[in-house]
Amino acid sequence: MPGMANVPVEPRAAAQPRRMRTHGLRLAPGALALALFLALTLGRGVLGAAAAPLQSALALALLASIIAQPGVLARMRVTQTAAALAGILTVALLLRVWGLRFGLPYFEHPDEWAVAEDALRMLRTGDYTPFSYTYPTLYTYMQVGVAAVHFMWGAGVGLYRTPADIDPVQFYVWARALTAMLGVGAVALTFLAGRMLYGNAAGLLAAALIAVMPAVTGDSHYVTTDTPAMFVTLLAFLAIARLGDIAPDRATLREAPSAAVPWNIPALAFLAGFGVGLATATKWNAGSLVIALLVAIVFAARRSTRDGHAVALDDDVAAQPAADVALQRLSKGPSTFHLIPAALLGILLGFTLGVPFWLRDLPRILTDLAGIVAHYRFEGHPGAESDQPALFYWWALTREGTLLAWACLGGVALAFLRRKPADLHVLAVVIPAMLQLTGVKVVFFRNAMPLLPFLCILAAALVVAAVEWVTARFGDAADRRAGGQSSVAFMRRLAGNRTALLLAATVVLTAEPLAQAVHDELLRSRPTTRILAGEWLEARALDGERVWLEDNTLILSPRLRAIGGEPAVRHDLAWYREQGIRFVVVHLDRETGAAAPATFGEPAARFLRAGEQHGPDLAIFDTGALDAVAEPRMPSGATLGAGAIVLEGYRHPGRVQAGGVLPLALFWQATRPLPLDYTVYVHLVDEAGNKVAQRDVPPLEDRRPTSRWAPGDLVRDDQDLFVPETVAPGAYRLLTGMYDAATMTPINDAGPIDLGVVVVER
């Protein structure tokens, strides 16, 4: 037919495969969702070890298929600001979740237990009254929720049956994860606050700075109130800043006179007060936010009044009846004294939500607060005191990054000199916080956590102002010399490029803090000195062996018997050998621990921080305790269990003070395998056979039960006996033996074994 040559046959034929591909792409989410549902339903029972990887792969494929749907990507308009913020939040997340298991089962932060242990206690007992009010209770109650979720997870995987079964180590990882998420949230809120006050560039730079500050990333690894206080403080500040900045302008009045009555200002005052209440319920020093709230209320009331006068002086608007009505209504708008009750109501409700028992426990709260004030201002804290607290915080800030510290200082100076409304809003937070921190003798940099985002915002504002000045100064010259090829022309063009300058400033300011934060995370990912010392000891100590531990050194496995607590130098090595203690663990950071090498000689092992790992400096001394075979003892030969066990010998001093402990070492030897786990009894009896002291404990405190004794094993069993103060002075007989605790049946072949006379003295 005529014209057939012009028909585009080939493109129409090619469109069919494209339609088929599009149709297949539309079916992909449903198919992948069905496959994921089946994989989850079948689980490990059918899929075995492949279940988890398969489920994860299908979930990712499902997400990718949804994103790849026609039109989805087109609707996902990702701006440069959003992309930059996403990158910053990703870095912040990695720095905060990396090393969350840091130090466990040891708790390197001295205050971490105060929140976590109280939350566990509340869940286990149902008693939600706090231990104390040294810390407000909002974050503790949040951790109760984490503990409940963790328990349900543990029940689902077969770990827990009741809340009492919760493993603290596992829970601490979950609890720390909440702190880490709040830390990431604080980075996002810093961006929002910076953008609200100074624009996108300042918001992004402030978020980048707070994202990589080493102290901030480090604090996000602990179950403490500092990072949560930072998050809630920023949340409250967003409402405070919005309250202080809101007011109807003249253009709005012309277009919509009914908008002249700012009915949302009281609501914002309430919301800002609610945030201040929550912040105070997270950490007491966050209560200084009330100053910023008052400043915002004054700003809001003054701007309403000022704009009302501006409308009255505008002839064009005043000629309109609607504007006259607006002016009348505006004159009745909220004043300072109208907004304060709304803010106070918000503070009261926010604080009550976080500290619900405050009215009932008010005397206790006031007592604890008075104790905190006395501790920080008068009593002091050894190792955390300074006569020049301002310089302490300055040097601590320089350790976060030298250029960053100077940028923060410059930002504060610029805010004082410029005094824009945005500057005054931030200074209303910074000034009270700094006066609070520097007005006491006890100094902890973690107390500055709620302040640091605002210093970063001011630093970012300074950088943005400097960049804008440079670009305004050199931008025109750069345009006029754009054709030049010299290095001078290139530098001029660079000086006129705002984006390039901001990126360069961001790199320069974040390089040092980021490097330090990454270094700190690498240290957290390594075993601490305590973990290394524990592994060394576990590899060398025998089951049931006694180990002397100074306070706050190691946590040993149940197979070893930890004793001690007091400084090791109170006894010499001969005393430890006599007690059958082979290893002594010493905390070298203490004054008494530092003297141990001179007292005991060279330790068997040292575990030092030396900039390579966290934890205290520890030393482990080998006392050279004799093998049980070679130890001196009184022979016995008494048998138990029809000769299955022989009391090969025993040792005790024969004298003890009433109210003291009689050291007693029993040397058991097995002659054949034992079917049951038996309990050892020790009785101190008078002439009439009456018991005046008693001890019933399995051998080696059940670290090495009798069913695990092999024929020929010689076991030293320390059964030290406490003698009550009520025991009269005199001579008593010491008896021992074993019995089956399930049936209370003694297994002594010839009755209680006599271990001789013990004289009780006063």
The CATH number covering residue 689 comes to 2.60.40.770
The contacts of residue 157 (CB under 8 Å, 6+ apart) are none
pLDDT the model gives residue 495: 53
Give the mean model confidence (pLDDT) for residues 331-349.
78
pLDDT the model gives residue 486: 56
Residues 748, 644 share a domain = yes
pLDDT the model gives residue 330: 43
Q: Sorting pLDDT into bands at 50, 70 and 90, what band is 327?
A: very low
pLDDT the model gives residue 80: 81
Give the mean model confidence (pLDDT) for residues 14-34.
69
pLDDT the model gives residue 621: 93
Gap between the Cα atoms of 543 and 707, Å rounded: 14
pLDDT of residue 462 exceeding 90, the answer is yes
pLDDT the model gives residue 182: 97
pLDDT the model gives residue 331: 42
Nearest to 146 by CA among 119, 186, 122: 119
pLDDT the model gives residue 514: 95
pLDDT of residue 155 exceeding 50, the answer is yes
Residues 615, 670 share a domain = no
pLDDT the model gives residue 266: 85
Tokens representing 646 are: 């022989």
Which value, in Å, is the radius of gyration of the alpha carbons in the chain? 36
pLDDT of residue 260 exceeding 70, the answer is no
pLDDT of residue 153 exceeding 90, the answer is yes
Give the mean model confidence (pLDDT) for residues 518-523.
92
Tokens representing 5 are: 């040559």
Of all helices (H) and strands (E), which one includes residue 468? Answer: helix 452-480
Residues 642, 593 share a domain = no
For the chain, the average pLDDT equals: 85
535, part of any domain: yes
Residues 672, 584 share a domain = no
Residues 695, 642 share a domain = yes
Gap between the Cα atoms of 250 and 271, Å rounded: 26
Per-residue pLDDT reduced to its tens digit, 654-710: 999 999 999 999 999 999 998 899 999 999 999 999 999 999 999 988 888 999 899
The type of residue at 72 is V
∠ CA 507-509-515, rounded to 5°: 80
Q: Long-range contacts of range 736-740, CB-CB < 8 Å, 24 or more positions apart?
A: 736/647, 736/650, 736/666, 736/680, 736/681, 736/682, 736/683, 737/640, 737/680, 737/681, 738/640, 738/641, 738/645, 738/678, 738/679, 738/680, 738/681, 738/706, 739/678, 739/679, 739/681, 740/676, 740/678, 740/679
Residues 645, 614 share a domain = no
The type of residue at 546 is R
Q: Sorting pLDDT into bands at 50, 70 and 90, what band is 11?
A: low
More confident residue, 607 or 246: 607
Per-residue pLDDT reduced to its tens digit, 578-616: 888 889 999 999 888 888 888 888 999 999 998 888 889
> 3-class SS at 749?
strand
506, part of any domain: no
Q: Sorting pLDDT into bands at 50, 70 and 90, what band is 188?
A: very high
pLDDT the model gives residue 249: 44
Residues 596, 551 share a domain = yes
Q: Is the peptide bond before 11 cis (omega within 30 degrees of 0)?
A: no
pLDDT of residue 256 exceeding 50, the answer is no
SS3 percent helix, strand, coil of the chain, rounded to 5, is 60, 15, 25
β-pairing verdict for 645-651 and 634-640: antiparallel
pLDDT of residue 320 exceeding 70, the answer is no
pLDDT the model gives residue 2: 47
Mean pLDDT check: name the lowest of 40-44, 302-306, 450-454, 513-517.
302-306
pLDDT the model gives residue 348: 96
What percent of the chain has a predicted confidence (pLDDT) above 90?
55
Q: Sorting pLDDT into bands at 50, 70 and 90, what band is 315?
A: very low
Mean pLDDT check: name the lowest of 54-58, 278-282, 434-438, 645-649.
54-58
137, part of any domain: no
165, part of any domain: no
Q: How many residues does the chain have?
A: 762
pLDDT of residue 4 exceeding 60, the answer is no
pLDDT the model gives residue 74: 57
pLDDT the model gives residue 382: 83
Q: Sorting pLDDT into bands at 50, 70 and 90, what band is 755?
A: very high
Residues 533, 597 share a domain = yes
β-pairing verdict for 561-565 and 546-550: parallel
90, part of any domain: no
Taking the mean position of all CA atoms in its chain, how far away is CA 522? 17
Give the mean model confidence (pLDDT) for residues 114-123.
93
The domain total for the chain is 2
Gap between the Cα atoms of 498 and 465, Å rounded: 11
pLDDT the model gives residue 477: 52
**Domain limit, last residue, from 622, 649, 679:** 622
Per-residue pLDDT reduced to its tens digit, 378-435: 888 888 888 899 999 999 999 999 999 999 999 999 999 998 889 999 999 999 999 9
pLDDT the model gives residue 485: 52
pLDDT of residue 251 exceeding 60, the answer is no
Residues 738, 687 share a domain = yes
**Domain limit, last residue, from 566, 589, 622:** 622
Distances (CA, A) of 149 to 120, 153, 171: 12, 6, 10
The contacts of residue 594 (CB under 8 Å, 6+ apart) are 588
pLDDT the model gives residue 261: 42
739, part of any domain: yes
Residues 602, 645 share a domain = no
Gap between the Cα atoms of 435 and 413, Å rounded: 16
Q: Sorting pLDDT into bands at 50, 70 and 90, what band is 145?
A: very high
Tokens representing 144 are: 């109760």
Residues 600, 540 share a domain = yes
Q: Could you tell me the residue range of the domain that residue 540 belongs to?
A: 529-622
65, part of any domain: no
More confident residue, 351 or 55: 351
710, part of any domain: yes
pLDDT of residue 189 exceeding 80, the answer is yes
pLDDT of residue 66 exceeding 80, the answer is no
Q: Sorting pLDDT into bands at 50, 70 and 90, what band is 450?
A: very high
**Domain limit, last residue, from 558, 587, 622:** 622
Mean pLDDT check: name the lowest of 45-49, 182-186, 319-323, 617-621.
319-323
More confident residue, 336 or 467: 467
Per-residue pLDDT reduced to its tens digit, 479-508: 545 555 555 454 555 555 778 888 889 999
Q: Sorting pLDDT into bands at 50, 70 and 90, what band is 752?
A: very high
Residues 598, 536 share a domain = yes
Gap between the Cα atoms of 647 and 199, Å rounded: 83
